[in-house]
Every structure is written in structure tokens, then in C-alpha cells.
Amino acid sequence: MFYWLMKTVVLGPILRLIFRPWVTGVDHVPVEGPAILASNHLSFSDSIFLPLLLDRKVTFLAKADYFTGRGPKGRATALFFRLADQLPIDRGGGRASEAALNTGLRVLNKGDLLGIYPEGTRSPDGRLYRGKTGVARMALEGGVPVIPVVMVGTDKAQPIGRKLPKITRIGVRIGEPLDFSRYEGMEGDRFVLRSITDEIMYELMQLSDQEYVDVYAASMKERLAAARRGKTVSLPGDPEDESADVDPADPASAELELEDPAADIGPAEPEPPARAAG
């Protein structure tokens, strides 16, 4: 009730009036049945505007920190996420990763829409970064389509580090559903998971016209943080480091996290992701 009350009565009408959000391709979202909405991630407000523009409820997997905050702000945030029926995930490895995967699958098994950011964290500079393979594992195990979604302008309205958004028009582009049923039963093959993830990222790149950077966004943030400390480091998550892809037996937490601390980054050489074969 809180979700629909906020969307239709309290917060939704205000946001529509101020930001005049627009959406294209909404007919690609099924009227019923489960699906994964795989979105680029530019701003904290992505998780607000995407559900606002869809008739169906969208459940996001949110980092557990949002549910354990202290102080007035932390407790208010935790209460909001709980009342909005969003689900916490633990970023730790091992059993926590498997628990995160199972949490997402429960949403899909109920026939609901699950929102995921394949980049794993917000883009620090508006470019599109290498996707993590948790979205592929969920798509195969859940037997559901993946619908590419692109947020437009949320990084201008609320860039990283800005608490209050500035007024600018927000948009959402929704692409055609991607069917990966040809890979049924292959969710344990990390090469298949990488191929599917790259296909999803390719569609996001085409839909958004963002520059693609074949490096994990979180790794780039760590690299720049190290650079500010006067160090040069090689970090996991670079294209040449395939060990950064999570093992299929331990797939989910780092791949499904919604937010990371902010960092500005410099230019990097992009290379578009390859489409999946077959």
C-alpha cells in the first residue's frame, strides 16, 4: 500500500509536475508475468523515476546498508525502503551471494518485475561500464526475458554527491525484450554468462548512445582513488582480468549492488561489448 500511495498520491504527482518525465517503449514491458529490467545506472534517482513511469510495480535489490542506517536520516531511509517493499542484499561473498541470487529469483517466481543495474554501481562520469554476470545467471535460472532500460538525464538532475536534485527533464527508454532461452541449462558456464551479459550491455549502449568502457566501474573508482593517493595499481575488473567475473557457484552480491561511493574518473579507451553468439 505504501508503494502505490507514494507513487500515485504523494510523491509521484509532485515528481511528474516538476521533472515532466517521459518514457518510450513502455509497450515492451509485459502486462503480467516476470521479467528483469536491466538498466544503466547514472544516479540514485534512477530507482525512483523508473518505477514512476511504469504501471507495474518494480522491486529493486538494494544494498543492505540502506536498511541498517543510524541516526534520523539512516532510520528514515531504512523505513522508506522497507515500506516500499524493496529487498536488502548482503555484499559479502559466499553464502551471501547465493542468498542475493535467491532473493531476486523469489521476486521473479512470484511473477513480478525485478530491477537490476548490471554495472553494479553508478557510472561516475555518464559512460557505460562493463556489466557483471549476476543478471545473466538470474535470467537463465528464472527463465525470464531481460528488458534493457536506459535512464536519460538523471545524472544531470542528481549527479553523484548532490543531495537535492536540480530541475531538469528526465526520460526513460525501454528496449525490446531479450530472450536467452537458447542457453537454457547453461547457467553454470561462465563463458555463457559473460556472453549474455555483453549482449545486454551492447543493447544498453545502442539504446543510450553512451560511450562504452570495457572496465568495471567499481574498479575504475578504486583506481582513481589510488591515483589520488599517488599510487598506480592494477585492479581486478579490468578486461584482461577475467577472474573478476564471479564464479557461477558464487554469483550475486557484487553484481547486484546498487550504489557505491562516488569518484570522478578520467578518460579511458572504450571497446564495445560483443553480441552473444547464436
pLDDT tens profile 177-224:
999 999 999 999 999 999 999 999 999 999 999 999 999 988 877 887
Is 218 part of any domain? yes
Q: Is pLDDT at 158 greater than 60 in this prediction?
A: yes
Q: Which residue has the higher pLDDT, 95 or 244?
A: 95
Backbone CA torsion sign across 222, 227, 231, 234: positive
CB atoms within 10 A of CB 179: 11
Among candidates 166, 176, 173, 131, which has minimal Cα distance to 152? 173
Is 269 part of any domain? no
The whole domain housing 43 covers 2-256
pLDDT value of position 183: 97
pLDDT value of position 84: 62
Domain tally for the chain?
A: 1
Q: Is pLDDT at 274 greater than 70 in this prediction?
A: no
Is 274 part of any domain? no
% pLDDT > 70, the chain: 70
Is 268 part of any domain? no
Q: Is pLDDT at 258 greater than 70 in this prediction?
A: no
Is 277 part of any domain? no
pLDDT value of position 167: 87
DSSP 99-146: HHHHHHHHHHHTT-EEEE-TTSS--SSS-EEPPPTHHHHHHHHHT--E
Is 77 part of any domain? yes
The pTM of the full predicted model, rounded to 2 decimals, is 0.77
The Cα–Cα gap between 164 and 159 comes to 9
CATH number at residue 128: 3.40.1130
Is 116 part of any domain? yes
Per-residue cell: 3: 508503494
Is 267 part of any domain? no
